[in-house]
Amino acid sequence: MASEDENASAPFPWHAGERSLQRLYGVAERMAIVGSRVIRDFMPEQHRAFFSSLPFVVVGSVDGAGRPWASVLEGAPGFLHSPDPRRLEIDRGFAVGDPVRDSLVEGGAIGLLGIELATRRRNRMNGRVRDLRAGGFAVEVEQSFGNCPQYIQRREARAPAVVDASSSEVERFDSLDAESIALIEAADTFFIASYSDREGEREATAGRRSVDVSHRGGRPGFVRVDGDRLTIPDFPGNLHFNTLGNLVARPRAGLVFVDFETGDVLQLSGRTELVLDDPEIDLFDGAERLWRFDVESIVRRRAALGLRLRLLDPAKENVSTGSWAPFRARRANEAPRPPLPPFSRESAAQKVRLAEDAWNSRDPKRVALAYTEDSRWRNRDAFPVGRAEIEDFLARKWQRELDYRLVKELWACEGHRIAVRFAYEWHDAAGQWFRSYGNENWEFAANGLMRLRYASINDLAIEEADRKLRWPSGRRPDDHPELSALGL
């Protein structure tokens, strides 16, 4: 959501990321009218009373490294109270070890979500941290608005456990372990913190940053885990695109998962990617989009909350949503292709050599088996999708590019992605030789099959005598120089 002092050319209250999605889905004009009606720069009386009745609130903030974090702060009803419409007092501080505690600064941006699971009611508010102290802080209100009850699982509070958050065991790590994965895959609810900056990182310190906290819900298992990557379906909503608009503007988020039986809290911070057009969307009933979350930092705090909640009934909207079963069924029919992500420098180099060997076979069927059934390519001006189109593309390629020889070399790798540079030589039907130079960006599924391939290629006409890639048809011999050794 936009801050009050955004320049006047931007319709209040939407920022550029939100407006871009509103335009994409044809609702920009309607949202320009709706926005100023539903989003206020103060808390209405009913919002003030609502927050005062809550036993917990979800809070989002951004640390000094630009990493968003989300957390849950609890207290006896009344620990949140509003002395006037533009201020909310919070009479509790965050426990040592909570990354939100370390990220709060006087005047810094903060987002809050008040949610009452038993009634499925929720209100969002964001603003500035004021009067920060050991036992709490205040929030100067910048924006306040209510949200619909969609996808909220109805839960009721049981007798809270007596916990000492200050003695809660805190673990920090950067890769999901089996326990974390089990909690995420069983979850039907999580909360997300995201943010936007008006004029870039420098201006953010002058009050141009806005932090938002939102709720996400679905059937248990609606969050898919592939290594350290989460994939989340995005269902029909209010078309404000507050969260997704933030992810367009700043592709980072903080997630918090709560075990309502034990009080364990799992906090994640990482980078995001919005997926608006992909065959994978169609594999999850009810999804209009997907977004991915690549885990970078993790904090687990055991028994950090006294909150204990019992599920009464799931959200009625869950009926119209699916599961990842169709996706997993498709993947189950695809044999894994080691090495698997996340890649080390060594395993990525092995992956690159295996790809080179397959392409030097000039066998379209063999090459296509290294890609997912719904793999998407961009190769020069061609955009094949799926193995059938990939096979057809390769067959036509090697009918035109004769006596083809290829060398690939690893450039960089991270997580599920590998960057490659390459060169190959070939001649056309008239006997003219060419050397084609290119770069590729690859992204892999958890089973080691490539799901995305983006290739940029330039062709240079050469004389036959200038060829550097000379070996019998097929695999490049192990003693043949690589690109760097050839000076290519």
Across 234-243, 329-338, 428-437, least confident range: 329-338
Cβ proximity of 376 and 452 under 8 Å:
yes
Where along the chain do its domains lie?
16-330, 345-486
Q: What is the DSSP string of 298-324?
A: EEEETT-----EEEEE--GGGGG---S
Q: In what order do the strands lie in the sheet with 121-133?
A: 68-74, 56-62, 109-116, 121-133, 136-147, 87-90, 80-84
**Superfamily, domain 16-330:** Electron Transport, Fmn-binding Protein; Chain A (2.30.110.10)
pLDDT in tens, 48-103: 999 999 999 999 999 999 999 999 999 999 999 999 999 999 999 999 999 999 99
Residue 46 burial (CB count, 10 A): 10
Pairing of strands 450-462, 371-379: parallel
Q: What is the pTM of this model?
A: 0.78
484: tokens are 């760097």
Please name the residue ranges forming H helices in 151-264.
178-186, 201-203, 242-249
pLDDT in tens, 386-419: 999 999 999 999 999 999 999 999 999 999 999 9
Kindly report whether the peptide bond that precedes residue 68 is cis, defined as omega within 30 degrees of 0.
no
Confidence category of residue 166, pLDDT binned at 50, 70, 90: low
Q: Which fold has domain 345-486?
A: Nuclear Transport Factor 2; Chain: A, (3.10.450)
Residue 395 burial (CB count, 10 A): 13
